[in-house]
Structure 1
Amino acid sequence: MDLVEVLPQRLHMLRFPIGQAYLWQDGEALTLIDAGHAGSAAPVEEAVRSLGLDPRRLERIVLTHCHRDHVGAADELAGRWGAQVVAHRLDAPVVRGELPVPEPVLLDWELPLYEHGLTVPPAPPTRVDLEVEDGEVLPFGDGAVVVHAPGHTAGSIGIHLPRHGVLFTGDCIAGVGRVMLGVFNVDGAQARASFRRLAELAPSVACFGHGDPLTQDTAATLLAAAASEPSLP
């Protein structure tokens, strides 16, 4: 796992072989946006300590959606450090293991990528302490706004920190090679609409579930990429 500074003293990316998570700091209080795959709790804790921070100050883990590469380590981390697990109401039953993970509607070129993505272990059933809806504000980052961004999954969310100009997009948007619509969506039309909605927030920093964060010309790049996506699936 690689640890990459995005904003000094505030934001780091934790990059796994597949996917990534983000660590946000409010002083000594910590928030994880996603948690990596099952078995990655120890590297996450090591990364936190390497920054001179205390894993016991992990207050919450916000899950952008229910997929295994984002949820997998959440249960172990939350159980060990008492963090609150947060997810959208529509994905929470999947995170808890009450419903199956929804199958995406795959385009032909996505088929081999999807098989590769399944190489990480399935996520164990994970408790959800707080189910959120669009527009709710979470107590970190000077007010973290939940943005419902369905399409990748029904309960996919972005997290917007307007006072810091930071947007966590989950897998709705990807930054692999270029900024683009994320892959493996259950509803392509919804995903494109969510892409446009997130882009219109005009952040200065965009943190993707896959791909390097965007830190320069971010708002214009997101808007241009969203506009280039067709309106139909």
Structure 2
Amino acid sequence: MEPVQITSAVWQLPFPVGHVHVVRLADGYALIDTGVPGSAPAILDALGRLGCRPQDVRQIVLTHFHLDHIGSAADLVAATGARVLAGAGDAPFISGATPGPEPVFTAAERGLHERVTAGLADAGLPPLEHVPVDVELHDGDTLDGWAEPVRVLHAPGHTPGAIALHLTSSGVLFPGDTIATVEGRAVLGPFNVDRAEAVAAFRRLAALDVETVCVAHGLPLLKGGGAALRAAVPENDWV
């Protein structure tokens, strides 16, 4: 896998389901999400291509508890010693203390979910290994050790404790699965536990001063990301 450079300090590691992002910190690197189970070797290889040794990974930030985001977190913690950070509302689901809630599908989402689930089953993924959360994040928190200010935003709806990260100086947004892209358009991420909350979270993120949107599903919005988010109509997606 070749890392895709998004900014001078951000790379995307593209996966068929659930991209991973790498951010250069003041004294190392952070990962945002970890792909499906079994992705750790590919992620570590890609980090090596960036000159990042396993011990240089300081933080693993999980935007929410779904399989394609936390799937390789335990393996990566074992390989790197990094701390795991996640939204407080999703921490019990990530650690395995409590089963996570199921999404409420629209008619359009149900068929898509069946196809995605079948594809993951055909891939023969290893079982999910849950991982403890070292730091529970809340709305308005900032993250230590980053090279620029980064603000945590609670973005419930996709999951109860979903979060987004906003790099305020460079205008980079990591929206988790609240936002996806399709053919260059920003759309509401599907498979939400509370669709109305997810739409409200989308609208809140769209109001930020953003240039680049690093989505986990679809291609990134490299320029004019904020305008693209404000032009979107998430209420009409997946219905």
Task: Report the aligned-residue RMSD.
Answer: 1.7
- For the residues of structure 2 that align with 1:116 and 1:27, how far apart are their CA atoms? 41
Percent identity over paired residues: 42
Instruction: Name the structure 1 match of 2:103.
Output: 104
- Which structure 2 residues correspond to residues 18-57 of structure 1 after superposition, within 5 A? 18-26=17-25, 28-57=27-56
Report the TM-score, using the length of structure 1 for normalisation.
0.93
Could you list the structure 1 runs, at least 4 aligned residues long, displaced by more than 3 angstroms after superposition. 119-122
- For the residues of structure 2 that align with 1:98 and 1:217, how far apart are their CA atoms? 40
Count of aligned residue pairs for this structure pair: 230
Structure 1 residue 202, shift from structure 2 partner: 2.3
- One-letter amino acid of the counterpart of residue 16, structure 2: P
Structure 1 residue 200, shift from structure 2 partner: 0.6
Instruction: Name the structure 2 match of 1:87.
Output: 86
Structure 1 residue 194, shift from structure 2 partner: 0.1
Structure 1 residue 196, shift from structure 2 partner: 0.5
- 5+ residue gaps in structure 1? none
1:141/1:65 CA distance change after superposition, 3 Å: farther
CA contact (8 A) 2:54 2:79 kept: no
- For the residues of structure 1 that align with 2:147 and 2:70, how far apart are their CA atoms? 21
Structure 1 residue 28, shift from structure 2 partner: 4.9
- For the residues of structure 2 that align with 1:166 and 1:149, how far apart are their CA atoms? 16
**Tell me, what secondary structure is at the counterpart of 2:136?**
strand
Instruction: Name the structure 1 match of 2:169.
Output: 163
Report the TM-score, using the length of structure 2 for normalisation.
0.91
1:210/1:2 CA distance change after superposition, 3 Å: farther
1:192/1:68 CA distance change after superposition, 3 Å: same
CA contact (8 A) 1:56 1:81 kept: yes
- Which structure 2 residues correspond to residues 181-196 of structure 1 after superposition, within 5 A? 181-196=188-203
Instruction: Name the structure 2 match of 1:211.
Output: 218
- For the residues of structure 2 that align with 1:2 and 1:104, how far apart are their CA atoms? 33
- 5+ residue gaps in structure 2? none
Q: Deviations over 1:50-103 (max 9, x none)?
A: 122222110000000000000011111012211000111110000011111211
CA contact (8 A) 1:141 1:164 kept: no
2:129 equivalent to 1:132? no
Structure 1 residue 214, shift from structure 2 partner: 0.5
Structure 1 residue 179, shift from structure 2 partner: 0.9
CA contact (8 A) 1:141 1:161 kept: no
- For the residues of structure 1 that align with 2:47 and 2:69, how far apart are their CA atoms? 17
Q: Name the stretch that deviates more: 122-131 or 144-153.
A: 122-131
Instruction: Name the structure 2 match of 1:223.
Output: 230
CA contact (8 A) 2:105 2:192 kept: yes
- One-letter amino acid of the counterpart of residue 179, structure 1: A
Q: Name the stretch that deviates more: 22-31 or 193-202.
A: 22-31
**Tell me, what secondary structure is at the counterpart of 2:175?**
strand
